[in-house]
Amino acid sequence: LIAFIKMLGNLNTGILIKSYFMNNLFNLGDLIDRTADPSKLALVDLSRIGEPRKYTHQKIDDMAMAVARGLDNLRLGRGDKIAILAANSLEFLITYLGIMRAGMIAVPINHKFPMETIEFILSDADCKLIFVDDARRHQIPVGYKSIVFDADGSNEFCEFLDYGHYETIRPSDDEVAMFLYTSGSTGRPKGVPLTHKGHLWVIEMRLKQKPEADHRMLVAAPLYHMNGLAICKVAFAGHLEIVLLPQFDAKEYIAAIEKYEVTWLTSVAAMMAMVVREGDLLSTTNLSSVRIVRMGSAPVSEQLVRDIKRTLPNAKITNGYGTTEAGPVVYGQHPEGLVQPDISVGYPIANIARLVDGNNFNAKYGELHCKNPAVMPGYNNLPEKTKEAFSQDGWYKTGDIMQSDENGFHYFVGRVDDMFNCGGENIYPSEVEKMLERHSEIEQACVVPVSDQIKGFKPVAFVVRRDGSGLSEDGIKQYALANGPAYQHPRVVSFMEKLPLTGTNKVDRKSLTAQAESAMKR
């Protein structure tokens, strides 16, 4: 390294050392930049009420090594699957990193899944060990070995840790680093193996435009989901700081922004919709530190963007896109430098994203296909599902319908499997929701299908009104008829204080569909 630095002469050493560091990453669990200041703060962990815990990049490195050494002491083998069933915390992060450093496969599990689903995942992945926090130890099925984080009266995890130097395992090009399980909104969740090489490529792409060194990222999205995990890995590799909440709560989220002078918010649309509703709290809170708001994992409405701009006037808002199976890098900068429109998901990166409509592989409207190093090798134990998920020429079929504008920017239209037919007309719920959310008195809308003997299916809307609104069901129907095709208008409108969310903070369409079907049968 000394010889390398001498060779740099009068060049910009900071940028080149960062490039040297990125080019020498080989294991997804070993992301700490040892060319940078090791004493810089890396993590503020807010998982313990009233007891914020702070850790430097050096301490994160030491603890991840201690996890890897502890796993070796248990005589676990390379490629063994190790589960994590816990809320967001320091322990979750260092365990996740340490598992991969040891050449094993990390399997974060959604702790909001029912017991039957958790047991299925543990069996499907053939997990050898489970790390669990004390609040969820009762969710461990009989017969599985576990190590508990922060158990009352026990130092199980602390005793497991073995501090000292650890030589990180160097994986092969196709070696799997982690399994993420899909949400399972229809049927059992599918195991998605993801490789070291593929997701190191993701980090490299994310850090091509080097972020300012003072960025402090607030993470409240669950770490068992791609969104939260990806941003934490980018923060470690970029030598930035994370403020970590155990879970999302709008009031706690807002308070953390002010207290820790957060500069970068990473979220999904439903989270930000809840934040902007906290009018009284927002009016007395200083959020001027926020410079970036990045949303992903779900569609964003024009109204929500306007609300965020009003609430966070100093922030640049970016609407992102990604899937578990193909990673979070699909879209990038426009080649002519055009600014991404507010509700667009971005400009497709050449040779990585395409729209397909039948035999047209360069469509302006169609299903998004992806091909990049982060794409999964195939679903775990599901060869037929894997075959269905890929085109004949090897592109991953996302199931997301996109539309391209005159400048090539893409917009989310809906899911192939969300689309339903009403009297011979195809309806994408997202299109109806966007139309409804343009109403000045509607904050959020979710449209779901209910079965109908004549039409096949018909649309039903769940609506969150703005504070003080007296908007009626008939008023919404008339607005929909005036602003969209008649077949799209919701036949029934139900008002809610807030929309229910899944464990990944997306609107829970499955529960709303069941609620609508049940109501129609009464």
Residue 67 CA to residue 339 CA, distance in Å, equals 44
Whole-angstrom Cα distance, residue 427 to residue 414? Answer: 9
Confidence grade of residue 188 (pLDDT, cut at 50, 70, 90): confident
- Mean pLDDT throughout 449-466? 87
Chain mean position to CA 489 = 31
| Structure confidence by residue, pLDDT tens digits, 12-55 | 545 555 565 667 899 999 999 999 999 999 999 999 888 899 99
What are 464's two structure tokens? 């969150």
User: Tokens 């461990």 map to which residue?
Assistant: 140
Residues 45 and 59: their CA atoms lie apart, in Å, by: 13
In this prediction, residue 185 has a pLDDT band, given cuts at 50, 70 and 90, of very low
The model carries a pTM of 0.84
pLDDT at 293 over 90: yes
Q: Is the pLDDT of residue 7 over 50?
A: no
Q: What is the mean pLDDT of the chain?
A: 90
Task: Provide the 3-class DSSP secondary structure of residue 454.
Answer: coil
User: What pLDDT is stored for residue 21 in this prediction?
Assistant: 62
The confidence band for 187, taking pLDDT boundaries of 50, 70 and 90, is low
Give the pLDDT confidence of 248-267 residue by residue, as tens digits. Answer: 999 999 999 999 999 999 88
What are 55-72's pLDDT values in tens digits? Answer: 999 999 999 999 999 999
Looking from the CA of 70 toward its CB, the CA atoms found within 13 Å total 23
Lowest mean per-residue pLDDT among 75-79, 349-353, 504-508: 504-508
Residue 364: pLDDT over 60: yes
Question: Residue 168 — pLDDT band, cuts 50, 70, 90?
Answer: very high
